[in-house]
Amino acid sequence: EAGVTQFPSHSVIEKGQTVTLRCDPISGHDNLYWYRRVMGKEIKFLLHFVKESKQDESGMPNNRFLAERTGGTYSTLKVQPAELEDSGVYFCASSPPGGQPQHFGDGTRLSIL
Amino acid sequence: EDQVTQSPEALRLQEGESSSLNCSYTVSGLRGLFWYRQDPGKGPEFLFTLYSAGEEKEKERLKATLTKKESFLHITAPKPEDSATYLCAVLAYYGNNRLAFGKGNQVVVIP
């Protein structure tokens, strides 16, 4: 069974540019989550999809971040325009319809210069 | 707000030297406590879920236990391949499905 896949694995962009991260969940997992770890801090929740609907987006830092999950399959997280403090590792996770446990991808390492 | 504190932050062990990692938590209504293992450059890998005080789970050299205030991850006779960062996370009843993580316990096992 394929795990959670994230693309790209690394991204380096300049402040003010736009970046889009992609996540492909485990097949059959209705729940999809985005988390972020900034340097020196713990992993923090960003948002949760159930199929194509946003169930909880309480962790999104501001309106420069836009997450979508069209058709309830893969998800994208767009940062526009990127700021220096957006640097970090962005993890995606998915879980089955029952809810838990969450299985994580290897993350996208985002560096804003 | 849910809080998870892990100690020690870093631990160096000789191969075969057993030890325990601590995860203290504060949450209004614990729905589950999760242990993950993370290797450098990789994502968290699920190990265990604990739901209620007194529960224990085992996998190879790892054993996780849970009380009403903390969880322990016991590593028995560790091997170098057990070197990793171990993450603890809690799920609250009111928090939908979002996990609240601790900063992790970085474990190095020396041959």
Q: Tell me: the pLDDT tens digits for A59-85?
A: 999 999 999 998 889 999 999 999 999
- Token representation of residue B89: 């996370």
Chain B residue with minimum CA distance to A55 = B96
Distance, CA of A112 to chain centre: 16
Structure tokens belonging to residue A83: 């700021």
**B2-19 pLDDT tens trace:** 899 999 999 999 999 999
Average pLDDT taken over every residue of chain B = 96
Helix (H, G, I), strand (E, B) or coil at A65: strand
A6 chain-B contacts, CB cut-off 8 A: 43
Which tokens is A103 given?
């299985």
Instruction: Name which of B96, B103, B105 to mutate to probe chain A: the one with the most chain A Cβ atoms within 10 A of its Cβ.
Output: B96
